[in-house]
Structure 1
Amino acid sequence: MEFDAVLLPPRRARMVAQGLWHDRTINDDLDACVAECPDKLALTALQVEQGATTRFTYREMARMADRIAVGLSRLGVGNNDVVACQLPNWWQFTLVYLACSRIGAVMNPLMHIFRERELSFMLKHGETRVVIVPKTFRGFDFEHMVSELQPSLPDLKHIVVVGGEGPDSFEALLSGPAWENEHDAHDILTRSRPGPDDVTQLIYTSGTTGEPKGVMHSANTTMANIIPFAQRLRLGADDVVLMASPMAHQTGFMYGLMMPVMLKASAVLQDIWEPKQAIELIRAAGASFTMASTPFLTDLARTVAETGQQVPSLRTFLCAGAPIPGPLVEQARQVLGTKIVSAWGMTENGAVTMIQLDDEDVRAFTTDGLALPGVELKVVGEGDQALPADQPGSLLVRSCSNFGGYLRRSQLNGTDAEGWFDTGDVARIDAQGYVRITGRSKDVIIRGGENIPVVEIESLLYRHPDVAMAAIVAYPDERLGERACAVVVPKPGRSVDLPSIVQFLKGQKVAIQYIPERLVVREAMPSTPTGKIQKFKLRDLLRESAA
């Protein structure tokens, strides 16, 4: 595979001179762990359905990574070849990435919810040589699905099945034979190790806009984000990271897979979100940090309150992906005793902004935090003129962790000659530098020339006593151009109607022009696996209902 990561070379000299790129790879950090703390528990992975727990020390993890790496090379995988991994949060996911890094292969993490439509595009676009899937997960046969796709994928040479039977199983091909003891193993493991600017990850955008793009990252871009991220959260070798967010998403990949190795910390993986199981894991492992979207925090706080099983070790819960309702922060602080941290980021950059641990709790539900070190932000209006504080406009980011570009779609890279990346988000920045994302540019609703503050209205709706989830989307209007529709999921046993929504928002002193003029009640929201509401699907729903 030829990678066109054109955004990396122009900024290399400046990033290195400023000390923002560290010219290390995950290989360097794993080797350091083996040298300094070989017998420390590195990884604990729980498979909820099977009730199985697997553990690795750093010595054991490095040995298995080497084994899988040599096994992959036996399948013809080499430098810059793409290995796709459609696995839940199983130990094999972590080990496959570490193995790919040993031989210069590029990992393409794929969400386990993807089916034929998404996979046929991504596997073909990435010229995938090997795809690794579970035999079954949550009742679905992944082996059959990918086998049906293989004839249409000319570059796909091998399907490796975790939990499979016969010669094509992960166990037979990769994790079983002691490949690391073969006569040529040392040469395989050392001749093609990637450099810090080589592409190490190909990850497709999560799909809130409906258009997947292949994001390319190097060790320098990912580590340039993880290091200040951990520093702001005061994370170190003594921490235990619980990761229940999918590792096929940037949240899980960077902060559940890479970060613990970089910190010489311990990681605990949970493959299916079940809050009672999460509480047991936190208590048993002494988990001190986790990161997930709002529904995870809601579930955890509710279950701790219901069961009385406290989680005293959990110091910090970083919540990202959507604004955090104020009442949830207040409840979680009281019930969990945990600092709730708001943050905002993108697949293309990792985390971009985050509040500080010493900030008052109100910052967590009124802002998305301050820029991390190595990140510059600006909000611009028409003509790309910088706007003053508290004025909403298009959010641009210039970051040490900005990606290398979109694979074979460099025309969409959205980065100008000065390195400013157009996030596609609308935001405002206050006088203290705190950012508030007010919506996607495609989510802006302009009613008769008046911009509706979508995120603010959504945040207010979350305070409605009968509303569990809420989203505001536009629908067309002949006279005003657009009007606002509220899409809500009621709390169990509750009901919601438009008059009650209008009355509630009037009680919150909302301008009449901002109040939704239509209501759609649903049992669930279309969302990504990390909890982001897919508004493009809601807009499609409104168009279909109006047709």
Structure 2
Amino acid sequence: MSESRLNLHPQSRVDRLVADGQWTPETIDGMFRDTVARRGDALAIVDPANRAALAGGAARRLSWSEVGSEVTALIARLAEAGVSRGDTVGIQLANGIELTEALIAVFALGATATPLAMQYRDHEITTMGNAAEFNWVIAARAFGERHPADDFARLRDQLPTVREIFSYGLAEDALCEDSTGVTHLFPAAATEADEAAAAAYRAANPNDPNDCVTICWTSGTEGVPKGIMRAHYDWLVFSKVCQDASDTTEDDVILNAFPMINMAGICAMLLPWVRTGCVLVQHHPFDAPTFFGQIARERVTYTLAPPALLSMLLHNEDLLSKIDLTSLTRIGSGSAPLNPAMVRGWQERFNIPIINFFGSNEGVGLLSSSVDLPDPDDRARFFPRYGAEGREWSMELSKWADVKIYDLETDEEITEPGVPGELHISGPQLFARYLNAETLRNPFDDQGYLKTGDIFEIAGDNGEYVRYVDRAKDIIIRGGMNIAPVELETLIMRHPSVADVAVVGDEDETLGEKVAAFVALHPEQTLELPELVAFLRDQHIASYKLPEKLRVIDVLPRNPVGKVVKTELRKALVEATA
């Protein structure tokens, strides 16, 4: 390993937060075992309803005892192979029982899980695999027409630190004709020997809540994916924020449609499930008929949904007449500003409050619940200003976290309402550091606050809120997936016809944004969108990053210091559709 995955946070921070009760000695795997013991034969987890179409195996439903037993068996198989504390395990599995079990098993072994989006192909796999120095890989045997485990095997010579590649899935899942270089593992109930082996491993290798439990990936703005290193300590307190805002209990049935690779899937779904012992219904990839069918069939009480989907649904009377949402008691949404009319519409028409989430993998945790902001218009526009004088909030994090806003030019703190500046946030939910942090800009200020790069302003009659103003970064968010324009621009510049390029987000009612590329060409050259897409596909990038609009222009607009003025490009897109 290029850097230690153990003892992630400085000991001084650990001592201070443990003494203050903000961090506890719990670990995610220990909490899982406690919940298995407590919930026993109660239903725990349900596979995606369309699993058979994706992987060939029938969807399953497991009790807590059953999923606990399968996790134990997987721990035994991985430990036999040599997976151990401090190792790094790349995981590419779709939402489902196997991904859930793989994550918990890797956590229990004291290894670091690095979950990867199913859309990732050769480019992303080798970039992230080498940055994190994967020691092991657990991947799906089949996902639609693809065979991810075999893809890893094909790339083995480009991943020199990988010791072994495992597939994990049901015996009836589709297998590639040539699976050389892959060790196939199958979910199975633990034997007495497995139970003894797992217990012996835990006794010999006790987990420390300060160990790095995950490296999740964010595109950032530098064009190179950044690995976000998190320990049990900070994940568990961060997930408690999501649980507090949604008021999740063991009586809930929660539907997870976000990949369990970052904050939305892990913090808002997986970890509250582990903590409470509720029912987790998995969904992947997003398919509207399947999603709404699961809500009705499983009597889902809580889910997350992107703002665009909620807005579309609210105005689609034909679709509303065909689906049953009567079991839902609240919905979480975020990743983009919420329309007050949408939030108000769901509350007034269906008596379903929309919880407003503003978060990041690094630990930004602003959440507006119906308890703290009962008025739907306020909930859509504002977030609690932690640390505001004379105001208490229902979330436990509000007692420990603090937010400040700083002028981008002077770096002076802004204390009056209505003045935009960069949001800085502190608290026990913050991540420890980036992978290979010495090569990246320090994300923390001198007081240890995270510099979010997002523009907010103080709001409310008594300055008790903060209001989101704009993204300081140029990240494109397409269907909840972050796309770094710089990364895509670098790849497009490799095309022999392209002299200059800028990539921006093009507003889309369903996905939030789509990728639009503006290019200036070399003399006497032409370029059409299908040709560009084919060129990028040949570089094996994730399909969701592919441009869906191409504009050829003579020269890109730049400011006096040479930076592309992307606001002019976005304006051109809006004007073209007006």
TM-score bracket for the superposition, by shorter chain length: 0.7 to 0.9
The 2-side partners of 1:20 and 1:540 are apart by: 50
1:427: which partner in 2? 456
Are positions 1:384 and 2:411 aligned together? yes
1:481: which partner in 2? none
The 1-side partners of 2:429 and 2:225 are apart by: 20
The 1-side partners of 2:260 and 2:319 are apart by: 29
2:472: which partner in 1? 441
1:73: which partner in 2? 79
Are positions 1:320 and 2:334 aligned together? yes
Instruction: Supply the AA of the counterpart residue of 1:401.
Output: Q
1:269: which partner in 2? 282
Are positions 1:37 and 2:39 aligned together? yes
Structure 2: where are the runs of 5+ without partners? 387-396, 476-484, 486-503, 512-528, 530-543, 558-578
2:227: which partner in 1? 214
Which one of 86, 90, 108 corresponds to residue 102 of structure 1?
A: 108
**C-alpha contact 1:353 1:435 (8 A) present in aligned 2:** no
1:345: which partner in 2? 359
**C-alpha contact 1:213 1:407 (8 A) present in aligned 2:** yes
Deviation string 1:24-51 (CA, Å, 9 cap, x unpaired) is: 1112222221222211111111151526
Instruction: Supply the AA of the counterpart residue of 2:252.
Output: D
Deviation string 1:465-484 (CA, Å, 9 cap, x unpaired) is: xxxxxxxx9xxxxxxxxxxx
The 2-side partners of 1:542 and 1:380 are apart by: 38
**1:490 CA displacement:** 7.2
The 2-side partners of 1:378 and 1:8 are apart by: 24
Which one of 407, 425, 448 corresponds to residue 435 of structure 2?
A: 407
User: Structure 1 residues 368 and 111 mapped into 2: Cα distance closer, same or farther (>3 Å)?
Assistant: farther
**C-alpha contact 1:312 1:337 (8 A) present in aligned 2:** no
Are positions 1:240 and 2:222 aligned together? no
Deviation string 1:488-544 (CA, Å, 9 cap, x unpaired) is: 44799xxxxxxxxxxxxxxxxxxxxxxxxxxxxx9xxxxxxxxxx98x989997888
**TM-score, normalising length from structure 1?**
0.78
1:18: which partner in 2? 20
Structure 1: where are the runs of 5+ without partners? 445-472, 474-484, 493-521, 523-532
**1:179 CA displacement:** 6.1
Deviation string 1:56-96 (CA, Å, 9 cap, x unpaired) is: 21111111111111111122210011111111112111101
**1:7 CA displacement:** 4.5
The 1-side partners of 2:148 and 2:107 are apart by: 25
The 1-side partners of 2:263 and 2:554 are apart by: 32
Which one of 57, 60, 69 corresponds to residue 54 of structure 1?
A: 60
3-state SS of paired residue (1:43): strand
Instruction: Supply the AA of the counterpart residue of 1:12.
Output: V
Output the aligned Cα RMSD.
Answer: 3.6
The 1-side partners of 2:550 and 2:61 are apart by: 45
User: Structure 1 residues 37 and 111 mapped into 2: Cα distance closer, same or farther (>3 Å)?
Assistant: same
**1:10 CA displacement:** 3.6
The 5 A counterparts of 1:68-467 are 68-162=74-168, 163=173, 164=175, 172-176=184-188, 178=190, 181-182=193-194, 184-206=197-219, 210-298=223-311, 301=314, 306-308=319-321, 309-334=323-348, 336-349=350-363, 351-357=365-371, 358-371=373-386, 372-373=397-398, 374-381=400-407, 382-387=409-414, 388-410=416-438, 411-430=440-459, 431-443=462-474
The 2-side partners of 1:148 and 1:167 are apart by: 9
**C-alpha contact 2:263 2:361 (8 A) present in aligned 1:** yes
Instruction: Supply the AA of the counterpart residue of 1:362.
Output: D
Count of residues in correspondence between the two structures: 474
Which one of 16, 27, 31 corresponds to residue 29 of structure 2?
A: 27
The 2-side partners of 1:19 and 1:305 are apart by: 51
The 1-side partners of 2:296 and 2:229 are apart by: 37
The 1-side partners of 2:65 and 2:341 are apart by: 44
3-state SS of paired residue (1:429): strand
2:564: which partner in 1? none
The 2-side partners of 1:443 and 1:207 are apart by: 9
Instruction: Supply the AA of the counterpart residue of 2:467.
Output: R
**1:223 CA displacement:** 0.9
Instruction: Supply the AA of the counterpart residue of 1:97.
Output: L
The 2-side partners of 1:251 and 1:425 are apart by: 18
**C-alpha contact 1:363 1:369 (8 A) present in aligned 2:** no
The 1-side partners of 2:89 and 2:551 are apart by: 36
**C-alpha contact 2:366 2:383 (8 A) present in aligned 1:** no
2:556: which partner in 1? 546
Instruction: Supply the AA of the counterpart residue of 1:48.
Output: N
**C-alpha contact 1:343 1:369 (8 A) present in aligned 2:** no
**1:148 CA displacement:** 2.3
User: Structure 1 residues 389 and 91 mapped into 2: Cα distance closer, same or farther (>3 Å)?
Assistant: same
Instruction: Supply the AA of the counterpart residue of 1:59.
Output: S
2:534: which partner in 1? none
The percentage of counterpart residues that share the same residue type is 22
